[in-house]
Amino acid sequence: MDKATLRQQTIQALSQMPADQRQAASERLYQALWASPQWRAAQTVATTLSSAIELNTQPIIARAQAEGKTVAVPQTHPHRQMAFRPLTATTTLMTTKFGLQEPQNGPVIAPADFDLIVVPGLKFATTGERLGFGGGYYDRYLPQTTGYKVALALPAQQASQPSWPVEDFDVVLDAVLNA
């Protein structure tokens, strides 16, 4: 199956997931993340400000901040590049043309400074391959960091093996947590 078709099918499946099932699966994923040794050891965590179809990242952000971790979220740049800036009470957010919230101020955190990166995407194989949204931002960013790369996959996002073409530049994740 080609990537575009699989992306559309996954978006449709996510949008049709009953709210109670989504909440229960999300809670299992949060608990699995928070129980991991990588989460407990992490001081600097990268995640996204999720869109409506994605796993809600607000509980992850709130827990990390409550535990005194530095939380950073991405800001996109030209040429499909991105940088992560801390998310704090003084962060100014702006909505992009894609409808996503991005930080506009604060220092850029170097890729080498991340201990844990919660990687977004649409489909995840248990073997670590991911199908992203198609922009290539994470494909360009992830090779720059040695942080532990983990995805949290709702049921509609799970695959035992990739059913999509995997490219040489695709970074295999360290872990995919399934609900």
Binding residues for substrate: 49, 54
Scanning the chain, the segments in alpha helix (DSSP H) are: 3-15, 19-35, 37-41, 58-66, 137-141
Binding residues: 3-7, 49, 54, 130-138
State the Cα–Cα distance between residues 88 and 104, nearest whole angstrom: 12
Binding residues for ATP: 3-7, 130-138
Q: What are the distances in angstroms from CA 65 to CA 19, 38, 42?
A: 26, 16, 12
Cβ-Cβ contacts under 8 Å for 77 (sequence gap 6 or more): 83
Cβ-Cβ contacts under 8 Å for 94 (sequence gap 6 or more): 101, 102, 104
H or E element at residue 109: none
